Structure 1
């Protein structure tokens, strides 16, 4: 499973353009007066302010080369303040052998760079162009158990057979051998490396299997 494209809402379109174009130095494509796209490696992210009156924010993670975590950290620190958890600005996940750092963009999205041991390496000095792809995106849903049941119908299943319950744990859903995950999240769960709590906001996710998954404008989970 790979994430081909996501569409995320924002109320701060112009600030977002400036941040990703001028600070992270990524080329952007203007789609309409109310949206733009960015290529993060293999994944296209579209930000849109169409019919958006709230202040939506999301959590998503991008894979970076396995040998460039410290280089990426220094690069990010020159552009934005890193988020902290218990006074630490990075974390090592021993269970998946990966290092992560977190920062916010102008919409308040919690952006994660993750260097997994299984990621390819790179000898090119780190910039945002070294991002490989989006490997995680969180889906805040009203009912994790029901959403997981629908995903299982597409053979998107729990990582390592972990049971999905309606508690405040993150539920990692995946298909195949690639470490790419849809994270099912209950509302009001505090985001790691943030004081924000998870809130249901619309988003659309297009997988490489031509399946669309997301939360619609009525805040209901859907699969098409």
Structure 2
């Protein structure tokens, strides 16, 4: 069993806008809604937000879609929100080294979202694309101060590998496997495709790595806690 992202916990300064965007525009099922928190179902993953009105957090997430439905997903999403240009006016990016296609858009916080089709995965679908076609949260961006220290920490403590297809650079690495990846830039490095500098905001991630549960907390530094029954 590969690495899968089971739950991601983020913050929002606009809970009503978050519900309207993810539940309304994207049509993700709402699992739980309270005055200061909301949880959405994203395929086999869950996406949680809690209110923090003291900051204006933004993040990077990628959602995995069936490997044969890039054009369908693009058409579906384009009817619901704007799609960001990638390069040279193109809106669908082709990552040859990753054998993947992707496109980008923004949520109500300015979080950079992505739909990605990874063609090596066996997840072809012949149903019409809609919100239920989204398979999972596939990538989570986790900006840090020291990329090398973060990468070595994840490898040494939890055997989360450097992504075989890379890249591995002083200010940017990718950790994990095709079904679940941690995108680890140096804080301040620009996120594609907007080049907005990456910022550190609270993130909690629950993973399943080859059948073993892992919980990671990224704030100013990485913290790792077990068991998973920790109050959010």
Q: Classify the secondary structure of the residue corresponding to 1:46.
A: strand
Q: Classify the secondary structure of the residue corresponding to 1:122.
A: coil
Structure with the larger strand share: 2
Deviates most, 5-14 or 152-161: 152-161
Q: Aligned partners of 2:183 and 2:74: how far apart in 1?
A: 24
Aligned counterpart, 2:119? 117
Report the CA distance between 1:31 and its aligned residue.
4.3
Report the CA distance between 1:148 and its aligned residue.
1.2
Report the CA distance between 1:174 and its aligned residue.
1.2
Q: Deviations over 1:148-186 (max 9, x none)?
A: 12101211121228585533xx311116xx442111110
Length, aligned pairs only: 217
Give runs of aligned pairs for residues 16-35 of structure 1, distance below 5 A.
16-35=18-37
Q: Aligned partners of 1:140 and 1:42: how far apart in 2?
A: 24
- Partner of residue 5 from structure 1, selected from 4, 7, 15: 7
Q: Aligned partners of 1:32 and 1:98: how far apart in 2?
A: 37
Aligned CA-pair RMSD: 1.7
Q: Aligned partners of 1:191 and 1:165: how far apart in 2?
A: 15
Structure 1: unaligned runs, 5 residues or longer:
none
Aligned counterpart, 1:142? 145
Q: Classify the secondary structure of the residue corresponding to 1:48.
A: strand
- Partner of residue 45 from structure 2, selected from 43, 46, 49: 43
Q: Aligned partners of 1:162 and 1:6: how far apart in 2?
A: 23
Q: Classify the secondary structure of the residue corresponding to 2:213.
A: coil
- Runs (4 or more) in structure 1 with deviation over 4 Å come to 161-165
- Partner of residue 215 from structure 2, selected from 203, 208, 212: 212
Q: Aligned partners of 1:97 and 1:148: how far apart in 2?
A: 23
Q: Deviations over 1:51-74 (max 9, x none)?
A: 441111111111101111000000
Query: Does the aligned pair in 1 maintain the 2:10–2:204 contact within 8 Å?
Result: yes
Query: Does the aligned pair in 2 maintain the 1:139–1:214 contact within 8 Å?
Result: no
Query: Does the aligned pair in 1 maintain the 2:10–2:48 contact within 8 Å?
Result: yes
Distance 1:134 1:55, change over 3 A: same
Report the CA distance between 1:32 and its aligned residue.
2.9
Report the CA distance between 1:128 and its aligned residue.
1.3
Give runs of aligned pairs for residues 130-209 of structure 1, distance below 5 A.
130-153=133-156, 154-160=158-164, 164-167=168-171, 170-174=172-176, 178-208=178-208, 209=212
Q: Classify the secondary structure of the residue corresponding to 2:124.
A: coil
